[in-house]
Amino acid sequence: MAQEKTESKNQKKRNNETVKHVQLERKRPKLSKVNDSKQSNNNNSKKKPRRRKPAQEKRDPKAVLRIIPLGGLDAIGKNMTVFECKNDMVLDDAGLMFPDDDHPGIDLILPDYTYVLENADKLRGIIITHGHEDHTGALPYLLKDLDRQVPIYATKLTLGLIEGKLKEHKIKNAKLCEVKPGQVIDLGCIKAEFFSVNHSIPDAVGVFYRSPAGNVLHMGDFKLDQSPIDGIQTDFAALARFSKEGVDLMLSDSTNATNPNFTPSEAEVGKALDTIISGAKGRVIVASFASHIHRMQQICDAAVKNGRKVAVTGRSMVQNTDIARRLGYLNISDNDIIDAYDLKGMPPDSYVVMCTGSQGEPLSALARIAGGNHKTISIEEGDTVIISATPVPGNEKAVTRVVNSLAKIGADVYDKSRARVHVSGHAGAEELKLVLSIVRPQAFLPVHGEATHLRAHANLAKDTGVEAENIYILENGESIELSPQGIKIGEAVPSGIVLVDGLSVGDTSEAVLHERSSLGAQGVASIACAIDRSKHELISPVVVEMHGIPGGDDHELVKAVQNAVSSAIKRSLSKQESWKETKKVARSALLSVLWERTNQRPLVIVNILEL
């Protein structure tokens, strides 16, 4: 029952998209309460592990390290976590999330970083673990809002991608600091050590935080690919060393916690790409994420191996290709890569097009190619299209629309359901358990996932020996307080989302989104007239306009609506009702007629001029 109440409370917080300032005085319910009895019996037979005391760092009995996830615990995106100890604060990642059908007209979704701005004087640095948008995308907006320069720590490629992003936002003089795996930096009383992890983008790292209150391991995004494209594996030796030193709390990527298997190697995709390209008769078009440098490398390798040039199209794909080549992370000779404008006149079987659009974005390169609207690239029957990505939840319909457009043309379309043209960059359940077994954390906090993923990862931690009372499933804005005396739930901070709508950041409200949804679903009707309030008379005809409503151009329907609204306004005036009440009855009269005639309830705009 306690568990149900907690989950109900958390659901309400998600719906409101904010977390109130509350003090959580008791511990979370043990996970064993929501697991099966077999698990509970196993826990009873285990001895509670003794707290390990790190040998290298002195503990301050009065020190408290607060860990506050501001994003990433309700969705796969907008990752942002605060580490705060004494008068020092470190921000780990600053990501965004792309909107779905519930956010019409919205361009981007950011985590609410109000707490960071309120404590900006404590902020010693921003650490970015890798170059994906869900970890870097909010950074330009955060930097604009901060009133002082804060150092940004990241690896070489990640900084290159960030630098390009900051240029787009016209942010100058950002303090970008390159770090390397194995390096330790001092951020006040917090020390951060970086270690290599394998992911779907080069130069990804995890971070081991040491503080006077205890040690925290943040894995970042990772998988355990033992045959990586760039030869860099997740650093098992570092994980074993951290385990020996003592990991008081571990934060780990939960994206694939529900996948019971090992995630296949990225090298498997290269084999599939080579097979498809070698057998293709016409042009080949491959759509993938612009930040997936490993995938781009394999596309280039397969193209060159089969005697084809590589053309790149799509703004972000062109930009990231240039950055990755300049920094040495994408290897293809100048002779083998060409501009998309040079394709005119070339035989279709002589090149591969590498483009954006794997998520079905309407303005992406692939969508424009499928619709026949691309400036330089066309597609014909018999051409091959490879969608080398998995649709992000919410994008399935958009991807299907593009695939159907390609099928109508006669293109041969490959996606992961037909061939292994994509593998995940996140560890599956068996890999997650392996890492947990190596690290042996005292306490565990699953991050980077939806509620299903977090819960599944928590159960994996329990399976590997972490005590149920030491496993925490939080909401964005809630906090954990780590001290030499142990771990407890701390006070919550403001959280939620910030909507980016064109040039507007944070000004679009839930009410605006509701209006947009109503417009799209039911249409809009407007009422306009003039009244003399002193004489209680309607002094102009009522004008009604309807758009997006079945029968909205039917003269008889429009006349019926106008008569009903006129009568309602006259009755309200005769009763000397308020202006607000008059608007209300006018709206009700219109909706009543439309519901009776069309079963529609559009958005209604009432404009009554008082003279």
Residue 248, amino acid: D
The CATH topology of domain 76-261+424-501 is Metallo-beta-lactamase; Chain A (3.60.15)
Sequence spans of domains, the chain: 76-261+424-501, 267-414, 510-610
pLDDT of residue 515: 60
pLDDT of residue 182: 97
* Alpha helices per DSSP H over 103-152: 114-118, 133-136, 139-145
pLDDT at 369 over 60: yes
pLDDT of residue 256: 95
Contacts of 544 (CB under 8 A, 6+ apart): 525, 526, 527, 528, 558, 561, 562, 565, 590
Does residue 574 sit in helix, strand or coil? Answer: helix
How far apart CA 472 and CA 379 sit, in angstroms, is 51
Residue-wise pLDDT tens digits, 267-308: 999 999 999 999 999 999 999 999 999 999 999 999 999 999
pLDDT of residue 41: 37
Mean pLDDT computed over 76-89: 95
Which of 132, 426, 453, 457 is catalytic? The answer is: 426
Q: What angle is formed at CA 92 by the lines to CA 438 and CA 95, rounded to 5 degrees? A: 115
Which residue shows structure tokens 């006129």? Answer: 566
What backbone torsions phi and psi does residue 423 show, to the nearest 5 degrees?
Answer: -135, 155
- Contact between 165 and 135 (Cβ < 8 Å): no
- Contact between 99 and 108 (Cβ < 8 Å): yes
pLDDT of residue 518: 62
Q: Which secondary structure element, helix H or strand E, spans residue 16, and what is its range?
A: helix 2-16
CATH number of 510-610: 3.10.20.580
pLDDT of residue 534: 82
Is the dihedral angle over the CA atoms 34, 40, 44, 45 positive or is it negative? negative
Which residue shows structure tokens 């033992």? Answer: 226
How far apart CA 503 and CA 548 sit, in angstroms, is 27
Burial class, 488, CB count within 10 angstroms (exposed 0-12 / middle 13-18 / buried 19+): middle
How far apart CA 490 and CA 479 sit, in angstroms, is 5
pLDDT of residue 24: 31
Model confidence at 236, pLDDT cuts 50, 70, 90, reads very high
Model confidence at 131, pLDDT cuts 50, 70, 90, reads very high
Comparing 187-191, 216-220, 374-378, the range with the smallest average pLDDT is: 374-378
pLDDT of residue 361: 84
Mean pLDDT computed over 34-62: 47
pLDDT at 38 over 60: no
Greatest mean pLDDT among 75-84, 185-194, 538-547: 185-194
Residue-wise pLDDT tens digits, 158-205: 999 999 999 988 998 899 999 999 999 999 999 999 999 999 999 999
Mean pLDDT computed over 325-352: 94
pLDDT at 363 over 50: yes
Q: How many CA atoms lie within 13 A of 29 on its CB side?
A: 12
Residue-wise pLDDT tens digits, 447-492: 999 999 999 999 999 999 999 999 999 999 999 999 999 999 999 9
Which of 134, 253, 383, 501 is catalytic? The answer is: 253
Q: Which one has a higher pLDDT value, 426 or 516?
A: 426
Q: What angle is formed at CA 412 by the lines to CA 409 and CA 417, rounded to 5 degrees? A: 125
Mean pLDDT computed over 432-457: 96
Burial class, 570, CB count within 10 angstroms (exposed 0-12 / middle 13-18 / buried 19+): middle
pLDDT of residue 517: 62
Q: Which one has a higher pLDDT value, 419 or 75?
A: 419
- Contact between 185 and 178 (Cβ < 8 Å): no
How far apart CA 313 and CA 322 sit, in angstroms, is 12
How far apart CA 161 and CA 351 sit, in angstroms, is 27
- Contact between 303 and 352 (Cβ < 8 Å): yes
pLDDT at 53 over 90: no
Average pLDDT, the chain: 86
Mean pLDDT computed over 351-374: 91
Tokens in use for 55? 């040998």
How far apart CA 208 and CA 251 sit, in angstroms, is 10
Tokens in use for 80? 């942002």
pLDDT of residue 447: 97
Q: Which one has a higher pLDDT value, 601 or 565?
A: 565
Comparing 69-78, 442-451, 473-482, the range with the smallest average pLDDT is: 69-78
What 8-state DSSP symbol labels residue 27?
Answer: P
- Contact between 85 and 49 (Cβ < 8 Å): no
How far apart CA 34 and CA 31 sit, in angstroms, is 6
Q: Which secondary structure element, helix H or strand E, spans residue 67, and what is its range?
A: strand 65-71
- Contact between 257 and 453 (Cβ < 8 Å): yes
Model confidence at 97, pLDDT cuts 50, 70, 90, reads confident
Tokens in use for 446? 């699953």
CB atoms within 10 A of CB 593: 18
pTM for the model stands at 0.79
Please say if 426 is a catalytic residue. yes
Residue-wise pLDDT tens digits, 543-577: 888 887 776 677 888 889 889 999 998 888 888 88
Burial class, 137, CB count within 10 angstroms (exposed 0-12 / middle 13-18 / buried 19+): buried
Give the burial string for 295-319 (b: 16+ CB within 10 Å, else e). Answer: bbbbbbbbbbebebbbbbbbebbbb
pLDDT at 18 over 60: no
Does residue 288 sit in helix, strand or coil? Answer: coil
pLDDT of residue 427: 97
pLDDT of residue 56: 45
Model confidence at 39, pLDDT cuts 50, 70, 90, reads very low
pLDDT of residue 441: 97
pLDDT of residue 502: 62
Instruction: Give the rounded percent of residues in the chain with a pLDDT score beyond 70.
Output: 86
The CATH topology of domain 267-414 is Rossmann fold (3.40.50)
pLDDT of residue 573: 87
